Amino acid sequence: MFPLRRNRRLRTNEAIRSLVQETIITPNDFLVPLFIVEGKGIKEEIASMPNYFRYSLDLLEGEIKDLWKLGLKSVLLFVKVPDNLKDNKGTEALNPNGLMQRAIKTVKNTCPDMLVMTDVALDPYSAYGHDGIIENGQVLNDETAEVLSEMSLSHAQAGANFVAPSDMMDGRILSIREALEDEGFINTGIMSYSAKYASAFYGPFRDALDSAPVDMVDIPKDKKTYQMDYANRFEAIRETEMDIDEGADIVMVKPGISYLDILRDIKNDVDVPVAIYQVSGEYAMIKAAAEKGWLNHDQVMMETTTAFKRAGADIIASYFAKDVVKLIS
Ligand SMILES: NCC(=O)CCC(=O)O
Ligand SMILES: [Mg+2]
């Protein structure tokens, strides 16, 4: 065939490269994670996540307006719960006037059209830093799913559009779906963290929310009895298909960059939107290398986010969302 076919012809200059580009990133691709704290006038940088902040509710308003102006229309809320409100059962998670419930209302009052998704898991509320209730050294499944259903209902009542269970208990999507339906929240969606791996890339996030598992006897040291083994691939498909059968509207693969194969497998297998989460450790890694001058920040950021979309992501949850949108607009 050579020289009739020369692949380099389509790479000759910027114009032809952009004409044949297959994957294009837009603000519509992004879901923005936000960290919320109690207090007033607080915008504090997270030590292991440079240029990413925790906001108190009063300053959250400004941030929401900024995001909307940039064309970012969906947020995923996480709260940092004061230690004195943590227990084994996540009781505070059900408080109708809790930080999450107030955060949902703050976003909706500031910008009614902003899509609000909420994290549903016990870890920020757990005295032990686990996603479930603990008894005799075990994370209880069904009892935890019950609390997660009540928590989801509470978020829906406060105005959340989607709940996003990130805990990986078995059967929790079905119990959440039933709880929402029973109370008439037929349009509240569920974005399931369906293939969430037990990953060392979550480190900085646990700093952000002070939610790491505690080091105590009879408390599991890690989350490997509920989050997935990173050596496994078919298990991700099984988990995801089950969550869709149970009522998930959107499924997710987490973390991101080390799991592009899983993302593509799932995209090829399912007919619901697929999300990917570029997690805190991935963000921290790029920030740190860029700070040292070892990597070009913006180029690596664009390469990773484009890779998610190319690999099949319909939705990208990323701490880089604002930076990407500023760069491309
Ligand atoms: N449910 C959220 C996490 O487990 C961690 C996210 C991150 O590391 O960015
Ligand atoms: Mg599952």
The band of 1, judged by pLDDT with boundaries at 50, 70 and 90, is confident
From the list 23, 25, 20, 22, the residue with the least C-alpha distance to 10 is 20
Task: Kindly state whether residue 6 falls inside one of the protein's structural domains.
Answer: no
From the list 64, 141, 56, the residue with the least C-alpha distance to 102 is 56
CA 160 → CA 87, 92, 105, 107, 136, distances in Å?
Answer: 24, 17, 8, 10, 34
Which residues, in sequence order, are bridge partners of residue 45? 53
- Nearest-angstrom CA–CA distance, 313 and 225: 27
Q: Is the CB of 202 under 6 A from ligand 1?
A: yes
User: Is residue 191 a contact partner of residue 244, using CB atoms and an 8 Å limit?
Assistant: no
Rounded mean pLDDT, 115-134: 98
Which of 77, 100, 259, 277 for a ligand 1 pocket mutation test, highest count of atoms within 8 Å of Cβ? 277
Q: What is the pLDDT of residue 139?
A: 98
Give the DSSP per-residue string, 60-123. HHHHHHHHHHTT--EEEEEE---GGG-BSS-GGGG-TTSHHHHHHHHHHHH-TTSEEEEEE-ST
Tell me the average pLDDT of the chain. 98
ipTM: 0.95
Q: Copy the structure tokens of residue 35.
A: 């960290």
Ligand nearest to the CA of 243: 2
Rounded mean pLDDT, 310-319: 98
Q: What is the pLDDT of residue 225?
A: 98
Report the length, in residues, of the chain.
329
Task: Kindly state whether residue 7 falls inside one of the protein's structural domains.
Answer: no
Task: Kindly state whether residue 61 falls inside one of the protein's structural domains.
Answer: yes
Q: Is the CB of 208 under 6 A from ligand 1?
A: no
Kindly report the protein residue whose alpha carbon is nearest to atom 1 of ligand 1.
166
Instruction: Give per-residue pLDDT as tens, 131-180.
Output: 999 999 999 999 999 999 999 999 999 999 999 999 999 999 999 999 99
270 CA → ligand 2 middle, Å: 15
**Number of independent structural domains in the chain:** 1
Kindly report the protein residue whose alpha carbon is nearest to atom 5 of ligand 1.
202
Task: Kindly state whether residue 3 falls inside one of the protein's structural domains.
Answer: no
User: Is residue 83 a contact partner of residue 140, using CB atoms and an 8 Å limit?
Assistant: no
Task: Kindly state whether residue 109 falls inside one of the protein's structural domains.
Answer: yes
253 CA → ligand 1 middle, Å: 12
Rounded mean pLDDT, 260-266: 98
Give the rounded distance of the alpha carbon of 175 from its chain centre: 21
Q: Which atom of ligand 1 is nearest to the CA of 279?
A: 9
Task: Kindly state whether residue 65 falls inside one of the protein's structural domains.
Answer: yes
Rounded mean pLDDT, 93-122: 98
| Catalytic machinery residues | 196, 254
CB atoms within 10 A of CB 114: 18
Indicate whether 197 pLDDT > 90: yes
The band of 249, judged by pLDDT with boundaries at 50, 70 and 90, is very high
Rounded mean pLDDT, 199-222: 94
* pTM for this prediction: 0.98
* Cis check: omega of the bond before 220, within 30 degrees of 0: no
Rounded mean pLDDT, 117-139: 97
Indicate whether 123 pLDDT > 90: yes
- Domain of 58? 25-328
Q: Is the CB of 166 under 6 A from ligand 1?
A: yes
Task: Kindly state whether residue 321 falls inside one of the protein's structural domains.
Answer: yes
Task: Kindly state whether residue 167 falls inside one of the protein's structural domains.
Answer: yes
Q: What is the pLDDT of residue 37?
A: 98
Indicate whether 261 pLDDT > 90: yes
39 CA → ligand 1 middle, Å: 23
User: Looking at residue 236, which CATH number applies to its domain?
Assistant: 3.20.20.70
- pLDDT above 70 covers a percentage of the chain that reads 100
Write out the H or E segment, with its range, that includes residue 35: strand 30-37
By the 10 Å C-beta count (0-12 exposed, 13-18 middle, 19+ buried), 1 is classed as exposed
Give the DSSP per-residue string, 293-320. TSS-HHHHHHHHHHHHHHTT-SEEEETT
Write out the H or E segment, with its range, that includes residue 251: strand 250-254
